[in-house]
Amino acid sequence: MSLNERIKELRKNLGLTQAEFGRRIGIVQGHLTGIESGKKSVTQKTLKVICATYGVSEEWLKTGNGEIFVQSPDKRAKRLIRFFNELSSEFQDYMLMQLQSLLDLQKKQIFSVPKKKLYSKK
C-alpha cells in the first residue's frame, strides 16, 4: 500500500469526508483527492501536519510499518483526541476556546478543581 493509499485509509477510518479531513490539515478537497488518487505527491509539511493533527505514527504513514496511531502513555490524552476528532469543526473550535479559558483561569489561580472527580468514566 502506498503513502497515498494510507492517507485515504486513515481518512476513512476516522470517518471524515475529504473536505473535512483536508480542512483540518489546511488543504482543499481537490488537492486531497489528488493525493489519495496518487496524482499529487505529499509534501513533508503535509505529512507532519497529518501526523500531528490525527495522532498518527509518521513511520506507519511513510512505510506502513507499526501501529497507525501513536501510542500515548496517557489514556486521558487518547480519549481527548478521540472526542475531539468526533466533533464537528464548529464544536472543535468551541472546545479549543473553552480549553484556553480553563488554562487562563488556572494561570490566574482563580479556580480550584475539587478533589473529587468532576466526570465519570464510561
pLDDT tens-digit series, residues 27-75 = 999 999 999 999 999 999 999 999 988 889 999 999 999 988 886 657 7
Tell me: the pLDDT tens digits for 74-113? 777 777 888 888 889 899 999 999 988 888 887 776 545 5
For the chain, give the number of residues.
Answer: 122
Q: Are 69 and 57 in contact (CB under 8 A)?
A: yes
Q: Residue 56 forms beta bridges with which residues?
A: 69
Say if pTM beats, i.e. exceeds, 0.95. Answer: no
Which pLDDT score is estimated for 104? 81
Domains of the chain: 3-63 (1.10.260.40), 75-108 (no CATH)
Burial class (CB in 10 A: 0-12, 13-18, 19+), 58: middle
Write down the pLDDT at residue 109: 63
